[in-house]
Structure 1
């Protein structure tokens, strides 16, 4: 990032960072520490966060506001999920945290409705926390342990990103919406194009994008591997907060005239067309017309990636008086109770149901494989943020990402359809005159937390403890994987696995089973002596779930060697004492095979001194030079065996 002088015009990202900087300097790649104003946790990751707060001995949250949402694990097929909901509610009472119960909605739009404030920082144990950048916030996803330390009042540490300015001009044409903007960014830059960057949107094109349109774009910035997406807090944000009866929370935050950026791009919105991401990557983007005509099984409206009232109202207006194709499951997932109440009030829900829609409960649901799985090898068009293979709950799925307009047009015809080819007028939805309802179900922090008792069901286990990094390691490469391995590949989501989120010994049984069903048993044989994983580019993309680092560590993984890492997973590995190393020469990756034994002598001393780290392959005799991007703080953390161990050591000193 370009160093800013006192009088130099500043962009929005720089203003947000400078106003919260507590450690480090504004130099790209250097570790900085930021004060965190708000935190967000959800039930798939929040149970571990609450256990971590308990282990840290927290009395009350030390942020301006912390909120816990129940939105992922809503299926109550046995005691595990409801038990954990009770645990989360009682822990929130104990620690002074807002609690949003099941049925209130997906965390990101609900947080935007109720709590988001321009100029604030937000850290969430969900990778799509970045959606709040739509309000002029610096909002970032992180592992649960990082969020837990922020709740305790500690800074959040990250490497200083560069700021990429994206100038928007023109206005979106009919049948093109905000989802097509972020799909265009993914088409241009791919799933790694945002690495090490904050993406800031500016320009005259912003005038045609509402705050919820911006939410769509900010949410899926995570699929580019970014640090955060930032929009200015301008009149669109003021209007949104006014609709939410929170006018007093508005403060204008815009880039100074003449502000510069480290990197640049420009999109003329008027030239965009409907786009679609094909299986199985958000970066595999094509114009809808290039793939039109393929039969579909499912059209799915909703999720944190398209959560606004217009994202449901426009489909309702499209299908009013019509019937969806008899072979299509038209799934409607309201994203907040407020949105659902408005759909009822405005009559749109009736229009959707009359057209043949299936209404599901308010929450994440099928987006993370919690129901609504498509049939085998059948195309599902979804307005969700991710289409990683198997994430839907069906192993042989064909999930495509698209706008609500494209999904609805295809539901009507039964085949992938460019909505511009429908014989109907574009339905214009006037969100300015909508009737909004304040959600009264969200529970504020308890007035007498000292009387609260944390309720733990039988599925909740204590956090495992780990030893520090050994000075030398001789261990097998139990798994070698390719590029763009996601956290869904490492530790899958879904209705079978996520209920074990607070039981690490059990959930570890599913580690890497999507790629290699034998991995957990093989890893257990080296649980005490240690093992390694070798990966390609962008290792650990996707979800922020720290289970994808914690479960491998529980099974004995001490070192991961990859070509490059996704930011959040890289941080999570450090937090649990797993050493993330990189190949100095990328061709070294090619000469290492699964089950090779690697010797890494003098690890601890090399990390402390900055000396070279070398891995010797017992099979070939080759020596591979390795490097890392760790700060001194992270080195101490890994040597100690993880963040909790380091904090305990520092408190005892």
Structure 2
């Protein structure tokens, strides 16, 4: 089904692979009459060409990228624009789309949500942006319909910013990276590796894009095969997939932890742009005659079966066939794995009680968002459900078309009525089911969703309140087949259906009548509307020469998600209020974190007033006095006091900058990790002035609540020290070694200045 090459490979003429083994030279000589160098052939990938066109550094090893356009939604754009305003923003230098698809229900926190929307509209008018009102489109569908273009690059403040199927290299990053673009700065990265995803064959009837995506994620996530690389989709199998199918696979590449994606383009993609009235955005993209890739994911589409990703990660995949054949054993294993995520909570997680008469019964089906809410997914689901009923028991089905144009066409062609007749509910464009807002199942419920993630609490339950529910990811077709069987898990390949594949017609008037387009029409006189819940970022100080850190949380899970660092769901309403949101930091993983962090922050606040913090906190005072025995010249008023967390591999999942900024607001100065799950989380730490320490020791040299003293840290950052000696403050100072990893000169300055806002004020 899926094969991972152990070496790099040459792709000849867009179809034939030659793995880079010792005998590759002889094969290339025979087929080409020459032996191209890896370096020469690596420049023939689509990714290399697009990155070169957007690089401003003149050095393809050290990229400084400027994007063609930006996009954000309503739980990120307020913080981004507030940061940019504090840093000197005058106008949006490139098209910047502000969509309102996360807090669009305006259901939590009084006027907070709509206040954020009005802030966005006023900023679009003042700075010259595009404002998409609530319920019009989810962020990525609008970008596909109105923003993407072959050969373009898009930067978005949402991790699922992926438009590779449309010939657009898109990157999901934390808000500060968008701030840099708004201030006419660059996105600075090393040239990423490029991995070919070589598609052959044609999917079986009933197999959908989520099935292909989950199979790929299952093959590459745990081993980091494509981590921070570009996935380049090539091969004859691409032509056997519709545009919607490709989009559905592409959006899920985020769950592999890759940096971005790009696909070959053809008549299917040309037709997509013509349908959307933007035929000028199409051009053919394909690799050169001889292209070199750092690895290959070889996928035979004809062998992919309907898949299910069980809680609590998209990589926890099984075929539905094997799930149904081995229910007891697989569910027992899933329950065991779940304890890694739920270990800090005194709650029992059970799935085997979902077995009824030897079959798995689920409580809820959801087809939604940027992954599931596409036209083709919903039409195929409606065909499977035609003339059926979802029943009058616990099982429910909700369908969210990804945009109003998609919804309108589904109304016109009768699919909405067809779905409603079955008992399904059809709702407006909304991202809630992806992040834990809306359609929250009952306690102990199991929801099957064609959405993007199934991390703990992504369905909205609160483990700390004694609630537990979970999500399994599936394709819309198998969700519809399960719904047709009234909640009993069923693969779409097991039902008899005639897929009608109706043609899609895009109505541009929906957006023309409702979306505000201020590109090129910035109005400096426009007053920004600031609701009472929108707060400025608190003052953040520069890095001191020496720092005393208290470890206030230690997480031993193999991977820590951004959802665990700062939960999603109703907390999204507070993202315009840094102090308010910070109260939820680590709340579902380590509820005592906030109190411990605040205690340390109080001492640092005292230090900033030039008073002696050691007199106010006995534990900090004792630690400082112990350090002074070895560093007698150390001055309390000049030594930074902060907190640090340790996690084995933090940052999987969302691009949300708040996973880092909330720690900073609470006095965090460092993360310590074996490694970082994603580039975007590490970038968020850096942009908020936090030290992204790496620890190579096999055994952890400190425990939770230990104090760590790191002398000369400012000098070490400035002088690019490869290793840094820190000390665990015990009866004596116990040394251990830290690294910061590679940092650009600008990143070092940001850390030294204390955060991105300070950096721009100082420069």
The interval holding the TM-score normalised by the smaller chain is: over 0.9
**CA separation in 2, counterparts of 1:7 and 1:572?**
33
Cα displacement (A) at 1:505:
0.8
Q: Give the TM-score normalised by the residue count of structure 1.
A: 0.95
Q: Is 1:198 aligned to residue 230 of structure 2?
A: yes
Worse overlay, 635-644 or 94-103: 635-644
Name the residue aligned to 1:623: 735
Larger CA deviation: 447-456 vs 277-286:
447-456
| Alpha-carbon separation, structure 2, partners of 1:154 and 1:10 | 28
Q: Measure the CA separation in 2 of the matches of 1:489 and 1:616.
A: 28
Does 1:435 find its partner at 2:499? Answer: no
Q: CA deviation at 1:24?
A: 6.4
RMSD (CA atoms): 1.8
Corresponding residue number in structure 2 for 1:600: 710
**Aligned pairs for 1:436-451 within 5 A:** 436-438=506-508, 439-440=511-512, 441-445=514-518, 447=521, 449-451=523-525
List aligned pairs for 1:413-432, cutoff 5 A. 413=485, 414-422=487-495, 424-430=496-502
d(CA) in 2 for partners of 1:425, 1:103: 31
1:303-334 CA distance string (max 9 Å, x none)? 11123201111111111111013331101111
1:493 correspondence with 2:568: yes
Give the structure 2 partner of residue 348 of structure 1. 415
Aligned to 1:513: 587
Q: Find the aligned partners of 1:415 and 1:295 in 2 and give their Cα distance.
A: 5
Q: What is the aligned counterpart of 1:547 among 658, 661, 664?
A: 658
For residue 384 of structure 2, the aligned residue among 315, 318, 330 is 318
Pairing of 1:162-311 with structure 2 (within 5 A): 162-190=193-221, 192-292=224-324, 293-311=359-377
CA contact (8 A) 1:367 1:392 kept: yes
Q: Offset of 1:6 from its aligned partner? A: 7.0
Superposed, which structure 2 residues align to 1:465-544 within 5 Å? 465-481=539-555, 482-495=557-570, 497-527=571-601, 528=604, 529-537=641-649, 539-544=650-655
- Asked whether the equivalents of residues 199 and 234 of structure 2 are also in contact (C-alpha less than 8 Å), the reply is yes
1:390, 1:285 → 2: CA distance?
19
Runs of 4+ off more than 4 Å: 1-9
The more displaced of 210-219 and 109-118 is 210-219
Q: Distance in 2 between matches of 1:622 and 1:405?
A: 58
Q: Is the 8 A contact 2:42 2:293 kept in 1?
A: no
Mean Cα displacement is larger for which, 599-608 or 240-249? 599-608
Aligned match of 2:54:
20
- What is the Cα deviation at residue 23 of structure 1? 2.1
Q: How far has the Cα of 1:348 moved from its partner?
A: 0.1
Q: CA deviation at 1:618?
A: 2.4
**Offset of 1:624 from its aligned partner?**
2.2
Tell me the secondary structure at the aligned position of residue 393 of structure 1.
coil
**Superposition deviation, residue 426 in structure 1:** 4.5
What does the per-residue CA deviation read over 1:229-259, in whole Å, with 9 as the maximum and x for residues that have no partner? Answer: 1112322211100111111221222211221
Query: 1:276 Cα deviation (Å)?
Result: 0.8
Using the alignment, how far apart are the partners of 1:206 and 1:519 within structure 2?
48
1:104-163 deviation digits (Å, cap 9, x = unpaired): 11010111101211111100111111x212211110011112102212322112232100
Q: State the match for 1:124 in structure 2.
A: 156
Q: 1:391 aligns with which of 441, 446, 458?
A: 458
Residue of structure 2 aligned with 1:459, choices 520, 524, 533: 533
Contact 1:324 1:412 in 2 (8 A): yes
Report the count of equivalent residues: 638
**Is 2:477–2:492's contact at 8 Å kept on the other side of the alignment?**
yes
Matching residue of 2:693: 581
Q: Which residue of 2 aligns with 1:66?
A: 96
Where 1:526 maps in the other structure, the secondary structure is helix
- Alignment TM-score, normalising by the size of structure 2: 0.81
What residue number does 1:154 align with?
185
Q: Who wins on radius of gyration, i.e. which is larger?
A: 2
- What are structure 2's unaligned runs of at least 5 residues? 1-7, 10-36, 325-358, 463-467, 605-640
Q: Distance in 1 between matches of 2:261 and 2:188?
A: 17
Distance 2:211 2:498 in 1: 16
| Matching of residue 34 in structure 1 with residue 108 in structure 2 | no
**Alignment partner of 2:745 out of 614, 632, 645:** 632
Corresponding residue number in structure 2 for 1:145:
176
Report what 1:411 is aligned to. Answer: 483
Equivalents in 2 of 1:445, 1:9: separation in Å? 38
1:329 aligns with 2:363: no
Pick which of 191-200 and 350-359 moved more.
Answer: 191-200
- Among candidates 724, 731, 753, match of residue 613 of structure 1: 724
The alpha-carbon distance between structure 1 residues 322 and 574, as it changes in their structure 2 partners (threshold 3 A), is same
Determine the structure 2 residue equivalent to 1:51: 82
| Deviations 1:160-209 (CA, angstroms, capped at 9, x unpaired) | 21000111000111111111111111111125443121111100000012
What is the deviation of 1:284?
Answer: 0.4
Q: Please give the alpha-carbon distance, in whole angstroms, between the structure 2 residues aligned to 1:34 and 1:365.
A: 32
**Structure 1 stretch displaced more, 153-162 or 440-449:** 440-449
Classify the secondary structure of the residue corresponding to 1:44.
coil
Give the whole-Å Cα distance in 2 for the aligned partners of 1:462 and 1:196: 32
The separation in 1 between residues aligned to 2:457 and 2:368, in whole angstroms, is 19
SS of the residue aligned with 1:453? coil
1:563: Cα distance to partner?
0.9
| Structure 2 Cα separation of the partners of residues 9 and 258 of structure 1 | 9
Mapped contact 2:41–2:292 kept (Cα < 8 A): no
Q: 2:64 & 2:38 partners in 1: Cα distance?
A: 17
* Aligned equivalents of 2:82, 2:694: Cα separation in 1: 32
Cα deviation for residue 524 of structure 1 reads 0.4
**1:66 CA displacement:** 1.5
1:541-591 CA deviation, whole Å, 9 max, x = no partner? 111111111110010110110011121110000000000011123x133x4
User: Deviation of residue 294 (structure 1)?
Assistant: 1.1
> 2:365 & 2:656 partners in 1: Cα distance?
27
Once the 2 structures are TM-superposed, how far is the Cα of residue 387 of structure 1 from its aligned partner? 0.5
1:58 CA displacement: 2.1
Q: How far apart, CA to CA, are the structure 1 residues paired with 2:709 and 2:249?
A: 45
1: CA distance, partners of 2:314 / 2:41 = 40
